[in-house]
Structure 1
């Protein structure tokens, strides 16, 4: 979650069958936004596969307690009780030499009654630069992580390296933070983990998809390569306040175009990287703190969009009462109506995916 936070009548009835059926299909190659033709309802349970891609349906996840001192595991448990559904994806954040997965993270993903998959964001270059990591300066840090995984954590997990890198780029030669340095860092870390025998990390490239950054000449240089990326990720938000920054619904956070025009993020991802499943690794609907606003339109827009976009295989909510600048409320319960709408969304059988 960064300062570039981005952009409702219950819909369970007629769209449930169409939504679930549409997401049975394999990844779509082009990004067609027309509603898919009707297909049979699932006849068997949706389960995750080798790369944690569900055979049908959509993985449901969350990060809770953002920008607070609350333990992330306890915050997520409270959020799950509030929303009415277990978060199949548990999103956490780490940097530098922090030791993870932590004991609490491991416990959360080994809860037999509530199966969860860990989604870890790791800023490997903390205290260094992307260029230095790529050159091997932090190999000891990478190797220590690899050893922990090999000896203590055999479960499959999602790994994001430096989410939202666009916001960290310093487009100056020699800065160590150029887009090409991010690509080199990402490739070096993943290839080194592979060389150490880490075969249970599912790699996610998490973009912001912000109009300003997508218009930069260096934006295309960020992508590390299909050989080291398993999922395409997007961190994007919408405002419930009409006229406020990124006002809109779920489709708007997927379709933001580069400033000046061009291909929207979802269309770009599904065209240029058609084989990759998409994870909305952070999303939310916000209003300014102290200005409670109806978010139900945003929540109610999710299912129709998922029905039209079969490449989306996971959505992960970021819940906080205040963002990093302390001016936006992204919580699901800022009003009773908002919570009711979110609970209706969470209850949809589309998200009934078994972690295999």
Structure 2
């Protein structure tokens, strides 16, 4: 859990994939984006610390009354082609960049992707994925079957050496890093989903807490922990069963697109996200980040959807930011792919509401505005309750 004392310590140091109602079968969405493709090493970031003065209050990211926008690309910071096109189309730079890293493919910690993001004025968000995406089954029902990455093995310590190396590496960065660990866990298509790979109810929460606690014991207090399910769909695993608790989560992430399997018909942002947002209010008090979203242009309504997205988000104070998937996969999700989409996006984020800025000495905003908080209904599970073991499976 990221804390004020830890961030203050870090400041002193500075001074001296896809989302689906049902995910389509595609070649692994996670690519070795953390693999460095540049011949020259990225220089380590240097920062001019804010002058200290008595009574100076810490700044939060994003500042109250604003939201950030970010980018997620298939190739990540190793190839900035899509990033550069996005910035040109949007007319301004994002404040967050996410990249994916699979445990089997990325054997060792490498700071260069993180440094490259920070050197461009963005908070790095690591999509940390405990699997071998290269071995994903072509059979839909077996996509999440990888016994080597069963959740019980993570909790049992089989990957402690690997986790420890990354925890120490991220700690040494001495600037904030968001970690989106084992996302879309309420589906069936990844080995860490409780409905797949021989996992059992309660295994996901145990694995999450085990990884979190290792980082904590090693003093990696510069981590923003992002718990990121898929938008709920029929027969998806209940979110309350998978939530590690507010003590273990800083931001709640969500993935949801217009145009993937089950969402081919035009639906607004609220239609896609409404039921999930309502469910989250019963289990968490943490701010929400839309960690993956985009829209198809198959029916010529991509610009309409973008306009709706950017008009709707300010009506949800619990959502403090979003990341656009700027890549070509099962369709061309890029805003840079059309003039209409680029214009709609640029116009939407020109509003002051999307004027958040980020710097390494800022603290992550981890509480909700009072108006957006609501108490869990009577009988709802506590935000810090463990998932209770059960023989039943959701899917």
* In structure 2, distance between residues paired with 1:294 and 1:347: 21
Contact 1:240 1:247 in 2 (8 A): no
Contact 1:234 1:279 in 2 (8 A): yes
CA 69–158 in structure 1, closer or farther in 2 if over 3 Å, else same: closer
Q: Once the two structures are superposed, what CA deviation does each residue of 1:29-82 show, in whole Å capped at 9, x if it has no partner? A: xxxxxxxxxxxxxxxxxx952xx4532200110113x2x699344432332122
Contact 2:20 2:255 in 1 (8 A): no
Number of residue equivalences: 288
Instruction: Find out whether 1:139 has 2:148 as its counterpart.
Output: no
* In structure 2, distance between residues paired with 1:330 and 1:55: 30
Structure 1's consecutive aligned runs of 4 or more residues displaced over 4 angstroms after TM superposition are none
Instruction: Find out whether 1:237 has 2:260 as its counterpart.
Output: no
Structure with greater strand percent: 1
CA 276–185 in structure 1, closer or farther in 2 if over 3 Å, else same: same
Question: Helix, strand or coil: the match of 1:61?
Answer: strand
Instruction: Find out whether 1:171 has 2:195 as its counterpart.
Output: yes
Aligned to 2:321: 314
Instruction: Find out whether 1:58 has 2:67 as its counterpart.
Output: yes
Instruction: Find out whether 1:108 has 2:117 as its counterpart.
Output: yes
Matches within 5 A, 1:41-120: 49=60, 52-64=61-73, 66=74, 71-96=78-103, 98=106, 99-100=108-109, 102-111=111-120, 115-120=121-126
Unaligned runs of 5+ in 1: 7-46, 256-263
Aligned to 1:223: 243
CA 69–236 in structure 1, closer or farther in 2 if over 3 Å, else same: closer
CA 232–86 in structure 1, closer or farther in 2 if over 3 Å, else same: same
CA 77–5 in structure 1, closer or farther in 2 if over 3 Å, else same: farther
* In structure 1, distance between residues paired with 2:62 and 2:352: 17
RMSD of aligned C-alpha atoms? 2.8
- Offset of 1:330 from its aligned partner? 1.4
CA 269–75 in structure 1, closer or farther in 2 if over 3 Å, else same: same
Unaligned runs of 5+ in 2: 1-16, 23-57, 133-147, 363-395
2:219 paired residue among 197, 208, 226: 197
* In structure 2, distance between residues paired with 1:338 and 1:150: 39
Aligned to 2:336: 333
Contact 2:83 2:326 in 1 (8 A): no
Select the structure with the greater relative contact order (CA < 8 A; seq sep ≥ 6): 1
* In structure 1, distance between residues paired with 2:70 and 2:110: 17
